[in-house]
Amino acid sequence: MLKRKYLFVTALIILMVAGFTATSLTSYFVARDSLSSSISNQMLPLTSDNIYSEIQRDLLRPILISSVMASDTFVRDWAISGEEDAERIIAYLNEIQRQYDTITAFYVSDETRQYYHPSGILRQVSSDDPQDAWYFRVRDTRDDYEINIDTDTADSSRVSIFINYKVQDYDGRYIGATGVGLSVQAVTHLIDTYQERYDRTIYFVDRQGNVTLTGRGYQGPNRLQERANFSLHATQILSSPSTSLEITDNVGNHSYLNSRLVPEFNWYLIVEQSNAASEQRLDNTLINNLALSGAIMILVLLAAHFTLRSYQRRLEQMATTDQLTGVANRHLFESIFEHMSKSLPRYARPVSLITIDIDHFKLVNDTHGHNAGDMVLQAVATVIKENIRDSDSLCRWGGEEFVLLLDRCTSDEALILAGKIGNAVKNHNVALGRQAIQVTLSMGVTQYHPGEPLDRMIARADAALYEAKESGRDRVVLAN
């Protein structure tokens, strides 16, 4: 019985561990895949779209201003007429800077190479001066404008973002370049705002992979190609209008990247999100689930243990106890006798046995019914137990017959006890409605002979019991 219990508990543990582990791990990996798919295919592209929309609002405005300046009839007429009265263009640039809140506005004439600024004529640009390379690059480009990060001509300590726009006469001939400048710090602040709002790393790269604009927290290399294990990814980013990638670094950390070409800048907007925090939350959830599963498993095992123990006790009681009277059955009595007989060679002592039979029990059943007979059996068993020691063993042998095994008891002592039990039963009335049933006992007493089996001892006591019945019942007879 105990072995089966352990097998059941072991099987239950294995099933629960396998079930909880499989469920938790399946949920964990499904959640990871779902998270990866959600970040790569939905969250980052959506963030990129939102940022691009805000860039159009915040950063493309200077391009529109420069476009308006390049097509302004005043600028073109003033340049074509020979750039007379420089104060007029200076006042115009001052008004542009004031009205649109830019850090600078400028016009460079291709005819005179004069650099006009809200503060006046700063200098003449020269093809021999590296500082003026931007101007000749704009003059020779096929595009209408370029975006350039460069040192401000008016303030060499300040780096600015310039929108350099071509100015053409009414016949389409190049006559100069105009535009406005933005503070790099202002644009960096915009990127910082995006990063804080969306909890992503945001930066821009040009067509060659050079990092052009970043937020304050950027710690990556200055070129995409310099990033570890990133050469193939860099090629894919710089050759596609938009790309979504999952990236694994040297230590196994996962991150996700979305790139999008911003045609107005000719730069790529890069939005990155590290998966470390999300994976850590998933790992913590997995650990919590496993811990919860372990706690549930312990509770189930405890419940199973107490339930099994309760059932085991009930089964043992049913297997060893007479259900009606609550005394030992024959199976348990035989085990008790076997255990006692094995100890006698080492610890010699007298042992006696009494067989007990209820007189005229059949008459009780026939007269009052079987329910009354059951009540009589229960009453007799109760009276006997009240008059014996805890070390004595009472057994319902069958029907109305009981057997009483008395350890450390001689036959003479057993005779005295039998008489006491007989008197107690005779004086005990079993109430049945308004009637009272009185019964007597016939008993046979014998003492154990060393080495004899139980059936021989029972047979000897039964012979004495038979003699008691033949002699008129309600008496005790000692076996020869």
Nearest-CA neighbor of 164 among 237, 417, 152, 172? 152
* Terminal CA-CA length for the chain: 43
Cβ-contact 394, 327 below 8 angstroms? yes
Provide the residue type at 364 as one letter: V
Provide the residue type at 314 as one letter: R
Calpha distance 69→247 (Å, rounded): 44
Place of tokens 């003449």: 124
What is the dihedral angle through the alpha carbons of 364, 365, 366, 370, rounded to the nearest 10 degrees? 150
87 noted as active-site residue:
no
- Cβ neighbours of residue 302 closer than 8 Å, sequence gap 6 or more: none
Choosing from 400, 413, 467, 470, the catalytic residue is: 400
Tell me which residues are annotated as active site.
400
